[in-house]
Amino acid sequence: MSPLLTGPPPRPPPAKSEEDLSEDEGLERALAQAEEFDVFGFAVPPAGDALGESGKAYALWFEAKALRRLRRFEARRRKLKSPGDWTSVPKSALKALLRKGVPPEHRGEVWWSVLGCQQQHVPGAYQQYLDQVLNPKTCEEIERDLLRTFPNHRKFRCAAGRGELRNVLRAFANHSPRILYCQGLNFITGLLLVVFQSE
């Protein structure tokens, strides 16, 4: 004889939403869903996805071209007057190089030079801005956008990457009190962190 039910059958435990997952669980789930990342660190769609398949086909086609560009770039790099100083390259040659694309592993160096960061760099200034107290409302806005920033990028799926993003946004808010923080700065900062690879 089967046992009598005195009420509805027990419900299975609800599936955890992305917000309920611990950081490690979230990273595990993300990595299980997309085990491959492209050259920029973004998750590649799973097999069978039409867009993902066309992206992979393009990546294979582009591989030989990228290798030629890398060799040309490194030959040009060896001719620099001083290491990492891309401002010494004639404007027309630099413009052509930038239009063709700087290899991902060298973008931080080129951007740093072309944007004049070395001349504007003040040792210790970043840490000073980071150590300043920031108003709670701005901190809350920054925290709210951290998980929204490139959620399918390898760097921002872990605490260390989001920590770097948080630090740069807080330092910027202290550096520019008239702006503080606004939506969109997280994506600009995220892109810069992907290119420069550290805060």
State both tokens at 151.
């959620």
The residue that leads in pLDDT, 184 or 16, is: 184
Q: How far apart are CA 186 and CA 174, in angstroms?
A: 15
**Percent helix / strand / coil, the chain, rounded to 5:** 60, 0, 40
> Would you state the pLDDT for residue 32?
55
- Residue (of 177, 182, 147, 178) closest to 165 by Cα position: 147
Q: How far apart are CA 174 and CA 125, in angstroms?
A: 11
Architecture in CATH for domain 125-196: Orthogonal Bundle (1.10)
Three-class SS state of 91: helix
Length of the chain: 199
State both tokens at 187.
């994506």
Question: What distances in angstroms separate CA 7 from CA 14, 17, 18, 52, 180, one per listed residue?
Answer: 19, 27, 31, 47, 56
Q: Are 104 and 140 in contact (CB under 8 A)?
A: no
pLDDT at 10 over 80: no
Question: What distances in angstroms separate CA 50 from CA 44, 55, 63, one per listed residue?
Answer: 12, 9, 20
pLDDT in tens, 137-189: 999 999 999 999 999 899 998 899 999 999 999 999 999 999 999 989 999 99
pLDDT in tens, 73-97: 898 899 888 888 888 888 998 898 8
Q: Are 112 and 196 in contact (CB under 8 A)?
A: yes
Question: What distances in angstroms separate CA 132 from CA 84, 125, 152, 154, 167, one per listed residue?
Answer: 32, 11, 31, 29, 11
- Binned at pLDDT 50, 70 and 90, residue 130 comes out as very high
Which residues of the chain are in CATH 1.10.8.270 domains?
125-196
- Residue (of 160, 152, 122) closest to 42 by Cα position: 152
Model pTM? 0.69
